[in-house]
Chains A and B, each alone.
Chain A
Amino acid sequence: MGLGEGAQRRIAVVLADMFGEPIDVGREIAAFLDGYLRRVPSRAALGLGVVVWAITWLPVLFVGVPLPADALSRATRARYIEAWSGSRVYLLREGFYLLKAIALMGWGANLAVRARLGVGPMAARRG
């Protein structure tokens, strides 16, 4: 299973804000997430897929706004993301960190990010 176009478009906005990156980097990370979900075992993909869905669609439960996360104002979305990361409910908090961990792999693969940090390419130089 992967992420549909709409799901990718929405979560890209959240990821861009989460990592303080422009939306095009957010889109790249969302595309990475889609590819990741297609490659991992189905149970793991299902779990991560549920987290992506929940973070996209549950602002109403966390910040009281009945809109998907990508439609929130930037300030409200920041408050919303903080609510997930600091949740006292273990499964919610871990769900958030699961998404962050996987998304970071996409973020860390981004060439512009790596160049900014001076860490060189993802793949080792050979020879």
Chain B
Amino acid sequence: MTGGVAARAGDAADFVIVGSGAGGATAALVLAEAGKDVIVLEEGPEVRAEHRGLGSVESFMHMFRDRGTQVAMGRSVIPILQGRCLGGTTVVNGAIVWRLPEDAYERVFGAAGAREAIPHAALAAKMDRVERDLSVAPAPDRLLGGNGSLMKAGAAKLGWVGHAIRRNVLDCQGSGRCMEACPTRSKQSMEVTYLPRAASLGARLLPDHEVRTIETSGARAVAVAGRRADGSSFRIAVRRGVILAASAVQSPCILRRSGIGPREHVGAHFRLHPATAVAGVYRDPVRLWEGATQSYEIDEFRHEGFKMEVASLPVELAGVRLPGMGEAFQRSMADYPNMAVWGVQVRAEAEGTVSPAAKRSHIEYTPTAGDMELFRRGAKRLAEMHFAAGAVRVFPGVHGGPEVLTSPDELGELDDLPLDPREWSIISSHLFSTCRMGADERAGVVGFDGAVHGVRGVWVFDASALPTNLGVNPQHTIMAMSMLLTERLVS
């Protein structure tokens, strides 16, 4: 797809896009369709056919940032999972496409004063195109798998609102390997959709090119500079400008290294959707490895600040927080075929920071007491739903809480789960707002057109530009925002 062409000295383009995930690939396609001269620079490698579906370990090694070891430091250590390959996190996510609801739009764009600049209807129109382009549809019953079917049954019994997840897949085989780069290329992630389309229209895709800085002259971007995977350096001149779409971790680091943007905001306001999981064991086989990785979700509590999704973990990841050593561990893992794993994802109010470090980024983040209260309520709701679905044992996975529950009569014990994040197993892959939008440089890093305040020719079209966290899965909103703002840039 890329032709393996490395950037050469003297290379130049109208637009250089940094990052090839949801935001960058969408911008690349829009610019290429408009006949613009575009180079897409991706820090990670191309996704090779032989690296697809190899299991968690090889997925981490080939396609995740820091080989899956990136963490946020704070009161506790929180793994931060991000794709690092051509196509970015879309290659390794759960194929969830969540249309931004109006209430979330109001809280995110409305509250930031962006109603006129980025109307909900304008985003909705772009979402329509994305959904057509990526074959988005609800997971059919045959792909719910045991995990999704049980969540559906549990929610129905409790009268909770839930639905099959809308996914960007075509002819999904239900191999449960979304997070290993789909082995059948069914997932309509960026490396099989927008990037090859952009390339066919002339965009140059350069994997293994990490942008470190943006060079400016007279407060205007003139070039990007960085290093290739082989250690050599490169510089590419830009005629119109640079579009940063390198994620809420990398985009602010590039700006900070370059001395661009309002310093008090660049890398600040880091928001997450932190998540944790609760497992249940059932009498009948669940077989997590069959069906879509993420097939069903519960909306019932979204307005309270959390939503719940199935999370079909492979055996090598499922046992981490299960209790027991030796024979007890063997007994726990013998239950794996009968295990359902569901997660709760919190719209956290905590803000952290991201800053560049020598080789990696430094992330500081600690959930607030309010966030932890949502975790406690969410974990209890998950346990309740497991029992409603017929679980015989439920493992909350919280240190200091009950190791296992065997009856819904014990659910009350979860009211006393500790609120210290150090007692919980928390992880996150939805990252936001480190270059957030604001009307001027007192309010944020970029304006409502995505342009960085105080410099010409630099735009940010990724989740870092979102004013705050969405409360729903972000890929769709990132793509719609990038499409809308890039079209305006072209026009």
Contacts and interface: CB of A to CB of B under 8 A. Distances in A.
A111 to B, nearest CB: 12
A80 B177 CA distance: 36
Contact of B183 (A85, A97, A107, A126): A126
B320 A100 contact: yes
A61 interface: no
Interface string B303-334: 00000000000111101110001111110011
Interface string B169-180: 000000101001
Interface in B307-365: 314-317, 319-321, 325-330, 333-334, 336-337, 359-360
B55 interface: yes
A119 B39 CA distance: 43
Interface in A32-60: 36, 39-41, 43-44
B56 interface: yes
B137 interface: no
A124 B67 contact: no
B443 interface: no
B399 A93 contact: yes
A90 B422 contact: yes
B325 A82 contact: yes
B261 to A, nearest CB: 27
Nearest to B79: A101
A117 B334 CA distance: 7
Q: Size range of the interface on A? A: 35 or more
A119 B337 CA distance: 8
B180 A124 contact: yes
B64 to A, nearest CB: 10
B81 to A, nearest CB: 13
A1 interface: no
B289 interface: yes
Contacts of A18: 325-326, 329
B360 A123 contact: no
B102 to A, nearest CB: 39
A30 to B, nearest CB: 15
Contacts, number: 98
Interface string A11-47: 0000001111100000000000000100111011000
Given A108-B315, A117-B336, A126-B183, A90 B76 contact: yes
B336 to A, nearest CB: 5
A105 B66 contact: no
Contact of B329 (A20, A43, A108): A20
A105 B321 contact: no
A18 B399 CA distance: 18
A94 B77 contact: yes
B219 interface: no
Given A90-B422, A118-B337, A124-B53, A108 B67 contact: no
B52 interface: yes
B156 interface: no
Contact of A41 (B327, B328, B336, B359): B359
B54 interface: yes
B69 interface: yes
B468 to A, nearest CB: 29
Contacts of B333: 117
Contact of B330 (A19, A40, A43, A85): A19
Nearest to A81: B325
Contacts of A19: 326, 329-330
Contacts of B336: 117, 119
A109 B326 contact: no
Interface string B35-63: 00000000000000000111111000100
Given A119-B289, A119-B315, A17 B57 contact: no
A122 B330 contact: no
Nearest to B69: A44
A101 B325 CA distance: 13
Given A19-B330, A105-B56, A126-B183, A39 B325 contact: no
Contacts of A119: 289, 314-315, 336-337
Contact of B360 (A39, A43, A82, A85): A43
Contacts of B53: 123-124, 126
18 contacts: A17-B326, A19-B326, A20-B327, A20-B330, A40-B69, A97-B425, A104-B320, A105-B56, A105-B57, A105-B317, A108-B56, A108-B314, A108-B316, A109-B55, A117-B334, A119-B314, A119-B336, A123-B53
Given A122-B316, A124-B54, A124-B180, 20 more contacts: A18-B325, A18-B326, A19-B329, A20-B327, A39-B61, A41-B69, A41-B359, A43-B360, A44-B66, A94-B76, A97-B320, A101-B320, A105-B57, A108-B56, A108-B316, A108-B317, A109-B55, A109-B57, A119-B315, A120-B289
